[in-house]
């Protein structure tokens, strides 16, 4: 959580939930290597092997990557000025820079006596692997930034004794939302939260409603109807202040 999320105690609490938001290394490495091989074949002028590698990669990704990774379970309908760092503004241009740089390499695929294909393969595989592993944690980073902004505008008086008791009772749910980055406009599905907490959806939904009554979390049912597993949940600015004060105790 903001300001204290970096503290040892809170970081330890969040670590187990963070691991559940990231794609496991082994499952991320296999399709990443496939994309690396596909790109390498394309850049070395081997279209048929590239098509085969692409097909195998797609099939492998479908088999080894969990369905929840593709569906996400997170919703961020609006952007905030605090969402982006300088690095975030540069990062979208890196794939284009990589492609441009690859075009400058010798057409015969050799620099001196060193073949360039290992650089194609290793660079692309590493880039895709890093992206896949970071995808689940990106929202947490943005959520922390929004939480810091919320603390600046939410007075201490909002952390009432009733809200603090509710937050303490349902602390695990709030930590799960924090690990997902579901804070002040970034929302998580109940099923996604239950997956991170490794608990039943109905049980998690009951705790969410209890927190919602106190204004600690917000709940949206706009596109879910009677399906409570699809309800969207976020920690409100009031909830950020309450959780911050709870961490200080």
Token pair listed for 78: 């609006």
Q: Is 49 part of a structural domain of the chain? A: yes
Host H or E run for residue 78: none
Q: Is 246 part of a structural domain of the chain? A: no
Distance CA 137, CA 108 (A): 40
> What are the tens digits of pLDDT across the range 88-97?
666 656 655 6
Q: What is the mean pLDDT of the chain?
A: 79
* Inter-residue contact 244 to 191 (CB < 8 Å): no
pLDDT above 70 covers a percentage of the chain that reads: 71
Token pair listed for 1: 């959580």
Q: Is 51 part of a structural domain of the chain? A: yes
User: DSSP state, 72?
Assistant: -
Q: Is 235 part of a structural domain of the chain? A: no
pLDDT band at 114 (very low <50, low <70, confident <90, very high): low
pLDDT band at 113 (very low <50, low <70, confident <90, very high): low
pLDDT above 90 covers a percentage of the chain that reads: 31
Q: Is 164 part of a structural domain of the chain? A: no
Distance CA 196, CA 175 (A): 10
Q: Is 187 part of a structural domain of the chain? A: no
**In terms of residues, how long is the chain?**
249
Question: How many structural domains compose the chain?
Answer: 1
CA 221: distance to chain centroid? Answer: 22
Average pLDDT over residues 115-134: 78
> What are the tens digits of pLDDT across the range 177-227?
998 888 988 899 999 999 889 899 999 999 999 999 999 999 998 887 788
> What are the tens digits of pLDDT across the range 9-54?
455 566 666 666 667 777 888 888 999 899 888 878 889 999 999 9
Residue found by looking up tokens 């998690």 in the block: 204
Q: Report pLDDT for 196.
A: 87
Average pLDDT over residues 139-156: 85
* Inter-residue contact 234 to 183 (CB < 8 Å): yes
Q: Is 152 part of a structural domain of the chain? A: no
234 strand-pairing partners: 218
Structural domain boundaries, residue 92: 22-70+78-137
13 strand-pairing partners: none
Token pair listed for 102: 């690859």
pLDDT band at 240 (very low <50, low <70, confident <90, very high): very high
Average pLDDT over residues 75-84: 63
Q: Where are the alpha helices (DSSP H) in 72-227?
A: 86-90, 94-103, 117-153, 161-169, 171-180, 190-197, 201-213
pLDDT band at 7 (very low <50, low <70, confident <90, very high): very low
CA distances from 55 to 26, 34, 105, 128 (A): 20, 9, 27, 17
Q: Is 41 part of a structural domain of the chain? A: yes
């Amino acid at each position: 959580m903001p300001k204290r999320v970096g503290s040892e105690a809170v970081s330890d609490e969040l670590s187990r939930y963070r691991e559940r938001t990231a794609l496991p290394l082994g499952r991320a490495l296999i399709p990443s290597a496939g994309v690396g091989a596909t790109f390498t074949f394309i850049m070395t002028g081997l279209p048929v092997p590239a098509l085969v590698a692409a097909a195998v990669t797609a099939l492998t990704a479908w088999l080894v990557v969990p369905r929840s990774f593709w569906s996400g379970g997170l919703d961020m309908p609006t952007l905030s000025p605090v969402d982006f760092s300088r690095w975030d503004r540069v990062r979208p241009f890196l794939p284009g820079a990589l492609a441009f740089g690859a075009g400058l390499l010798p057409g015969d695929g050799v620099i001196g006596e060193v073949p360039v294909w290992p650089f194609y393969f290793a660079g692309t595989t590493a880039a895709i692997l890093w992206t896949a592993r970071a995808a689940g944690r990106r929202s947490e980073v943005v959520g922390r930034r929004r939480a810091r902004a919320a603390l600046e505008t939410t007075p201490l008086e909002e952390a009432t004794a009733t809200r603090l008791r509710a937050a303490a009772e349902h602390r695990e749910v709030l930590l799960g939302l924090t690990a997902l980055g579901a804070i002040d406009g970034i929302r998580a599905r109940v099923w996604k939260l239950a997956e991170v907490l490794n608990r039943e959806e109905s049980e998690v939904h009951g705790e969410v409603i209890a927190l919602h009554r106190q204004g600690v979390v917000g709940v949206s049912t706009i596109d879910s109807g009677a399906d409570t597993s699809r309800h969207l949940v976020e920690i409100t600015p009031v909830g950020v202040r309450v959780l911050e004060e709870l961490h200080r105790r």
